[in-house]
């Protein structure tokens, strides 16, 4: 277990149990295998050129505030992506960004940005990471941008030097006569960090690779050598599926708990490599599918995927997962970019996951009662050592080691037709007498989409409007407890949070 406690923040621990059996004992204190949870475990990535546009959307502020309200800590935001490596800083530019595109769904092939870009970034509430350009091999320009970021963005956590350099094309100016490989890139990252640290300090987010495992943090660490001291954090990018080039996506596969377990486990060694250097490891850009998310990203099933994926990330030592939002309004289009380009109605997903990782107070409490000095969830565990099946069960504990919540996710796929199965999960070892309360995350089916009018709800009638504001009334269910056991029914493609 790696504990990463940030000064000034209450610590959060997560211990996780997954189970395919229906007899689950909730341990009265977190087991030794429990993982700690960063308060910003679920965070956001915004495509570089689109960032100023996102800041003009009221839904961006509202979505981020919803997450902050649930967890008591603002989500971190990373600004970056493919277009960070097409951007040139212009200290004289009077707008945040300047570019032209043939149609509104396109990403620019080249752009400039100015000081106001960083002024906007400084208005974010949480940690900010900004992705700068290395691909164009203009170190003087990137240094100028780094200095402006450092002086403007008071909440600056880290700076990236290049995005997914593993995908740099052979015509990239950074690629010299010796060609490009993990070792050449490692030497380049080292040289750039060493040069820029003189002016802006030890502030770099290193690696930023997509092509795991051939390009990895574990391989980069020895290549950096003494430059490791200039590195603040390590990042890898991760998409379980691809919609690039017309590739088809599969929601049932995405949502599968056993699939989520095996996929996420791959990054355990990456997190361990970063932790061995005393650095945090992030999936600094992630989402369901590259190239716009196919048609799965806006579905309720993808919301359930996020809940399980984020918790499995914590189990494997990943400190934060930054869910990427690409070109605004470009949710389901297929694009030539190697990265995801989608803005989807993800509020409900993020909020659901926030509710499980910050479960200290009833989420029916008014927003005014939520503040960062309130007690926090701290640890979660999988409630069984049996092989994971369709049902995952997670227990969460406070920093005082008290059980606070159980999350049950039934990943069995419900398409919307035929009989919807249900798992009946007896939770034993509960100290509550009489009853416990629960919030159900549900929808008519896994492929249901809130943007197509489907009733995607958390807690009775609560849902989220298009602007991310809460709509409808949230109600808790009551489940009887008898002899320390409560038996909970969770339908296929549903999740439930039990308040202990
Ligand atoms: C903005 O970019 C366009 C090209 O896309 C260029 O013609 C124009 O001069 C730029 N404006 C400024 C203020 O730099
Ligand atoms: C914040 O939460 C703590 C703990 O629940 C409470 O004691 C305090 O009064 C709250 N502060 C505000 C300003 O609401």
Q: What pLDDT, in 10s, does the model give residues 151-181? A: 999 999 999 999 999 999 999 999 988 899 9
Model confidence at 364: pLDDT above 60: no
Dist. CA 433–CA 431, nearest whole Å: 6
- Span from the CA of 163 to the centroid of ligand 1 (angstroms): 24
Max mean pLDDT range (99-108, 301-310, 344-353, 398-407)? 301-310
Which residues' Cβ are closer than 6 Å to ligand 2? 371, 373-374
Taking alpha carbons only, the member of 262, 250, 493 closest to residue 390 is: 493
Q: What is the mean pLDDT of residues 121-142?
A: 98
Ligand 2 atom nearest residue 371's Cα = 1
Do the strands 156-161 and 128-132 form a parallel or antiparallel pair, or are they unpaired?
Answer: parallel
Write down the residue that tokens 């896994």 correspond to: 446
Could you report the per-residue pLDDT of 45-67, keeping only the tens digit for each?
999 999 999 999 988 999 999 99
Rg (CA), the chain: 22
Dist. CA 149–CA 156, nearest whole Å: 8
Q: Which helix (H) or strand (E) holds 273?
A: helix 268-275
Residue of the nearest CA to atom 9 in ligand 1? 98
Q: Which ligand is nearest to the CA of 369?
A: 2
Could you report the per-residue pLDDT of 33-48, keeping only the tens digit for each?
888 889 899 999 999 9
- Span from the CA of 428 to the centroid of ligand 1 (angstroms): 65
Residue 35: strand, helix, or coil: strand
Dist. CA 132–CA 142, nearest whole Å: 6
What are the residue ranges of helices labelled H in 162-319? Answer: 182-200, 217-224, 251-255, 257-265, 268-275, 300-315
Q: What are the two backbone dihedrals, phi and then psi, of residue 239, each rounded to the nearest 5 degrees?
A: -130, 120
Taking alpha carbons only, the member of 60, 91, 95 closest to residue 77 is: 60
- % of the chain surpassing 90 pLDDT: 67
Q: Which helix (H) or strand (E) holds 480?
A: strand 477-481
Residue 460: strand, helix, or coil: strand
Predicted local confidence at residue 245, as pLDDT: 86
DSSP 322-359: EEEE-STT-SS---SSSS-------HHHHHHHHHHHS-
Q: Which ligand is nearest to the CA of 91?
A: 1
Predicted local confidence at residue 106, as pLDDT: 87
Dist. CA 472–CA 455, nearest whole Å: 11
Judge if the beta carbon of residue 100 lies within 6 A of ligand 1. Answer: yes
Dist. CA 348–CA 350, nearest whole Å: 6
Predicted local confidence at residue 141, as pLDDT: 98
Residue 185: strand, helix, or coil: helix
Number of H helices, E strands in the chain: 11, 27
Look at phi and psi of residue 479 and say left if phi exceeds 0, alpha if psi is from -120 to 50, else beta: beta
Q: Is the peptide bond before 213 cis (omega within 30 degrees of 0)?
A: yes
Q: Return mean pLDDT, the chain.
A: 85
- Span from the CA of 54 to the centroid of ligand 1 (angstroms): 21
Q: Give the mutation target among 371, 398, 404 for probing the ligand 2 site: most ligand atoms within 8 A of CB.
A: 371
Q: Give the mutation target among 374, 376, 404 for probing the ligand 2 site: most ligand atoms within 8 A of CB.
A: 374
Q: Which ligand is nearest to the CA of 373?
A: 2
Sorted by where each starts, the structural domains of the chain and their CATH numbers stand as 2-35+374-499 (2.60.40.1180), 39-357 (3.20.20.80)
- Span from the CA of 132 to the centroid of ligand 1 (angstroms): 20
- Span from the CA of 73 to the centroid of ligand 2 (angstroms): 14
Taking alpha carbons only, the member of 52, 104, 35, 62 closest to residue 318 is: 35
Judge if the beta carbon of residue 92 lies within 6 A of ligand 1. Answer: no
- Span from the CA of 113 to the centroid of ligand 1 (angstroms): 11
Dist. CA 162–CA 80, nearest whole Å: 9
Dist. CA 281–CA 233, nearest whole Å: 6
pTM value is 0.86
Q: What is the mean pLDDT of residues 134-143?
A: 98
pLDDT band at 72 (very low <50, low <70, confident <90, very high): confident
Dist. CA 227–CA 210, nearest whole Å: 22
Taking alpha carbons only, the member of 327, 265, 302 closest to residue 107 is: 327
Taken in order 329, 153, 217, 7, the sign of the CA dihedral is negative
Judge if the beta carbon of residue 99 lies within 6 A of ligand 1. Answer: yes
Model confidence at 352: pLDDT above 80: no
> Which segments within 279-433 are labelled E, that is strand?
280-286, 289-290, 320-325, 377-382, 391-398, 403-410, 422-428
Alpha-carbon distance values, 179 to 166, 168, 175 (Å): 12, 11, 6
DSSP 122-142: TT-SS-EEEEE--TT--HHHH
Least confidently predicted of 73-87, 89-103, 339-353: 339-353
Max mean pLDDT range (71-75, 243-247, 458-462)? 458-462
Dist. CA 496–CA 494, nearest whole Å: 7
CB 326 within 8 A of CB 342: yes
Two structure tokens written together for 248: 């088809």
Alpha-carbon distance values, 397 to 130, 159, 328, 349, 382 (Å): 33, 33, 37, 22, 12
Q: Which helix (H) or strand (E) holds 309?
A: helix 300-315
Residue of the nearest CA to atom 14 in ligand 2? 369
Residue 105: strand, helix, or coil: coil
Q: What are the two backbone dihedrals, phi and then psi, of residue 488, each rounded to the nearest 5 degrees?
A: -115, 135
């Amino acid at each position: 277990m790696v504990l990463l406690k940030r000064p000034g923040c209450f610590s959060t621990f997560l211990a996780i149990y997954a189970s395919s059996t229906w007899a689950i004992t909730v341990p009265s204190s977190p087991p030794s295998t429990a993982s700690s949870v960063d308060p910003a475990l679920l965070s956001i990535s915004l495509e570089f050129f689109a960032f100023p546009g996102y800041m003009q959307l009221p839904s961006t502020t509202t979505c981020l505030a919803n997450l902050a309200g649930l967890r008591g800590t603002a989500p971190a935001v990373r600004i970056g992506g493919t277009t960070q490596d097409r951007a040139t800083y212009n200290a004289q530019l009077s707008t945040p960004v300047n570019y032209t595109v043939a149609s509104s769904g396109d990403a620019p092939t080249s752009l400039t940005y100015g000081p106001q870009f960083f002024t906007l970034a400084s208005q974010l509430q949480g940690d900010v990471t900004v992705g700068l350009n290395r691909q164009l091999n203009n170190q003087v320009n990137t240094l100028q941008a780094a200095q402006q970021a450092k002086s403007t963005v008071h909440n600056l956590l880290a700076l990236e030097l290049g995005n997914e350099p593993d995908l740099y094309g052979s015509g990239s100016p950074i690629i010299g006569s010796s060609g490009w490989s993990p070792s050449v890139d490692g030497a380049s990252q080292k040289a750039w960090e060493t040069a820029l640290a003189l002016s802006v300090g030890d502030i770099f987010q290193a690696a930023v690779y997509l092509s795991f495992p051939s390009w990895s943090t574990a391989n980069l660490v020895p290549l950096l050598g003494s430059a490791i001291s200039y590195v603040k954090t390590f990042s890898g990018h991760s998409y379980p599926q691809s919609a690039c080039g017309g590739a088809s996506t599969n929601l049932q596969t995405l949502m599968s708990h056993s699939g989520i377990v095996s996929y996420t486990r791959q990054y355990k060694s990456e997190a361990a490599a970063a932790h061995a250097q005393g650095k945090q490891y992030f999936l600094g850009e992630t989402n369901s599918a590259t190239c716009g998310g196919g048609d799965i990203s806006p579905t309720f099933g993808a919301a359930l995927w996020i809940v399980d994926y984020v918790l499995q990330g914590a189990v494997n030592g990943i400190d934060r997962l930054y869910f990427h939002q690409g070109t605004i309004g470009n949710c389901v289009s297929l694009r030539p970019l190697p990265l995801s380009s989608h803005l989807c109605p993800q509020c409900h997903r993020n909020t659901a996951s926030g509710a499980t990782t910050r479960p200290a107070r009833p989420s029916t409490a008014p927003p005014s009662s939520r503040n960062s000095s309130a007690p926090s969830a701290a640890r979660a565990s999988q409630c069984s050592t049996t092989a994971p099946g369709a049902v995952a069960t997670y227990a969460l504990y406070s920093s005082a080691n008290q059980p606070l919540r159980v999350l049950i996710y039934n990943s069995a796929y419900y398409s919307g037709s035929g009989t919807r199965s249900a798992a009946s999960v007896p939770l034993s070892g509960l100290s509550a007498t009489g009853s416990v309360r629960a919030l159900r995350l549900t929808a008519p089916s896994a492929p249901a989409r809130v943007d197509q009018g489907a009733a995607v709800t958390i807690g009775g009638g609560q849902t989220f409007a298009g602007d991310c504001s809460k709509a409808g009334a949230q109600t808790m269910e009551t489940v009887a407890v008898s002899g320390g056991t409560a038996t909970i029914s969770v339908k296929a493609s549903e999740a439930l949070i039990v308040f202990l």
